[in-house]
Amino acid sequence: MNIALIAHDAKKDLMIDFVLAYELLLGKHSLFSTGNTGKRIMEATTLSVKRFQSGPYGGDQQIGAEIANNRMDMVIFLRDPMSSQPHEPDIQALIRLCDVHLIPVATNIATGELLIKGLERGDLEWRHLAKYKK
């Protein structure tokens, strides 16, 4: 599965803790990330991450393009709801694309945990079928 991992600055440490907790599971999948989050993940783990631009420089849009082209299976985007983001329209567009293309998306650690547990159990295997139906 192709999994996007994104985190706002205030949530990057939480993302690192999350990825460290599930490193063995995540290592079985292809990981993608915006620039700084991906860099931090690779520095803290043994995981390989395909990095796009930083979010404010178009990384959210690049991941959105992967979603629109049916090349992403899950998005974990740890957002900071207490801070305004200069690229908020891009963030909303990314989440909208997940809704349009039926991509499971978590915007907080609680939902991220549920998605990872579902991935571990095989609950997201339907994504393989969805890729071929388009």
Q: Which two tokens stand for residue 78?
A: 């740890």
Burial class (CB in 10 A: 0-12, 13-18, 19+), 14: middle
Please confirm, yes or no, whether 60 is among the known catalytic residues.
yes
For the chain, which domains are there? Answer: 13-133 (3.40.50.1380)
Q: Work out the pLDDT band at 9, boundaries 50, 70, 90.
A: very high
Return the pLDDT at 55: 85
| Cα–Cα nearest to 73, from 113, 120, 37, 126 | 126
Among candidate residues 13, 17, 60, 73, the one labeled active-site is 60
pLDDT tens digits for 45-92? Answer: 999 999 999 988 989 999 999 999 999 999 999 998 888 777 788 889
Return the pLDDT at 12: 96
